Amino acid sequence: MLLPPPLNPPPRPLMGPGPSDIHPRVLRAMAASTVGHLDPYYLELMTGLQQMLRELFCTKNELTFAVSGTGSAGMEAAVVNLVEPGDPVVVCINGVFGQRMADVAGRAGAKVTIAERPWGDVFSPDDLAPVLKSARPKVVGIVMAETSTGAWQPIEEVSKRVHDAGAMLIVDTVTALGGIPVEVDAWNIDACYSGSQKCLSCPPGLAPITFSRRALDHIRARTTKVQSWYLDASMLASYWGTDRVYHHTAPINMTYALHEAVRIVLEEGLPNVFARHALNHRALKAGLAALGIRYAAREGRQLPMLNAVLAPEGVNEAKVRSDLLSRFGIEIGGGLGVFKGKAWRIGLMGYGSRSSNVLLFLAALEQLLAEQAHSFSPGSSIAAANAIYRK
């Protein structure tokens, strides 16, 4: 057979919904010598990673670790450990990933009730009151940073309403963690999961997750086995706990990568990380406004790390995305669900959240919009973004 050509991936600014640009230190960490998954060095590394993940999640939860799988594996781990067949579960849907959580809960045998808001909007505690009263759920699931719409869901007051109703709360922070504050203990979250490939600027393949004491007590008191052997937190707790009982062969070099990625975030300091994401978001938003481009999410509830915007009328949004990639090497995402063919999703996540990416993107976008006869003042987006940076 003819062998395929040697590996030579093109360098690209990854400005889509994920994966994000990988920090060079993380790439170097992945190339370090592989050790065994029960090697004393690796076990020590696991302990350090757990400690850093607790700081990142702002929690003291004992059961905090990294699921060997992508963010969707984190979602499934959270759901299947807390849900038993027949359990009433409420899932909040205002985008694609709420829909995915509902599907996962249904497959776990839950009796799922849907709470809905329009795409681009978020839930208030009052929005949930009727469904909490009627469904009397054991578990409520909600997405904090809806990647399909760019909507930022407030959690604290929703959590209070959920717990007042006697339910446990699962929160999806796949896009949120490392970009905006995630306060697991302060907000009384029972299960919270994320992904390595968004604001942590690490390749996809691990899913940070944390379970509260209440959740852990529930898992240990289950009357049925967890649907997934691989994701059973009671067994994973023995591997990630002090006993270090073998469960599976962990992805050693991916653990190196996540360890370095989280270390980089904590070195910068969470307040500084959040401020950097917010600044670059404001600069991008000012630049897009100068081009007449509006956001898909509700004003005041827009994520800084995932900017979902509506393509201007008369502009071929797919051609813009294609030309950005083929001519400028810039990747952005298209719309999903009700926004398919209507929106762009522009990521400014982790290492990728920097002014050089903002200004490069705006310059390229201006050229492509001009070629499609979209009306704007040339150079206006760059000037608007730079005005933000000057402040």
- Tell me which fold the domain 24-267 belongs to: Aspartate Aminotransferase; domain 2 (3.40.640)
Q: Cα separation of 290 and 292, whole Å? A: 6
pLDDT of residue 243: 83
The full length of the chain comes to: 391
pLDDT of residue 220: 93
Q: Domain-by-domain residue ranges, the chain?
A: 24-267, 269-390
User: In the sheet that 63-68 helps form, which strands lie side by side, from edge to edge?
Assistant: 63-68, 206-211, 191-193, 168-172, 139-143, 88-93, 111-116
**Helix 233-240 vs helix 71-82: crossing angle, to nearest 10:** 120
Using CA atoms, how far residue 281 sits from 177, 287, 379, 381, in Å, is 16, 10, 19, 13
pLDDT of residue 72: 96
Q: pLDDT of 236-260, one tens digit each?
A: 988 998 888 888 999 999 999 999 9
C-alpha 151: how far from chain center: 12
Q: pLDDT of 10-39, one tens digit each?
A: 999 999 999 999 999 999 999 999 999 999
Amino acid (1-letter code) at residue 390:
R
pLDDT of residue 242: 84
Pairing of strands 343-347, 306-310: antiparallel
Q: Cα separation of 215 and 159, whole Å? A: 14
Q: Strand, coil or helix: what is 7?
A: coil
pLDDT of residue 244: 86
pLDDT of residue 245: 87
Instruction: Judge whether 24-267 and 269-390 match in fold.
Output: no
Whether the link from the prior residue into 11 is cis, omega within 30° of 0, is: no
Per the prediction, the chain carries an average pLDDT of: 97
Q: Strand, coil or helix: what is 81?
A: helix
Q: pLDDT of 302-332, one tens digit each?
A: 999 999 999 999 999 999 999 999 999 999 9
pLDDT of residue 391: 87
Q: Is the pLDDT of residue 173 over 90?
A: yes
Q: Which two tokens stand for residue 76?
A: 């499934």
pTM of the model: 0.97
The residue among 178, 184, 346 whose CA lies nearest residue 270 is 178
Rg for the chain, CA atoms, rounded:
21
At the top level of CATH, which class does the domain 269-390 belong to?
alpha beta
Q: Which residue has the tokens 């730079």?
A: 386
Q: pLDDT of 47-66, one tens digit each?
A: 999 999 999 999 999 999 99
Q: Is the pLDDT of residue 335 over 90?
A: yes
Rounded-to-10 torsion of CA 13, 17, 22, 23: 90
Which residues have CB under 8 Å from 40's CB, separation 6+?
none
Amino acid (1-letter code) at residue 325:
L
Q: Is the pLDDT of residue 289 over 90?
A: yes
The residue among 359, 385, 361, 374 whose CA lies nearest residue 312 is 374
Q: How confident is the model at residue 192 (pLDDT cuts 50, 70, 90)?
A: very high
Q: pLDDT of 100-143, one tens digit each?
A: 999 999 999 999 999 999 999 999 999 999 999 999 999 999 99
Average pLDDT over residues 64-89: 97
Q: What percent of the chain has pLDDT over 70?
A: 100
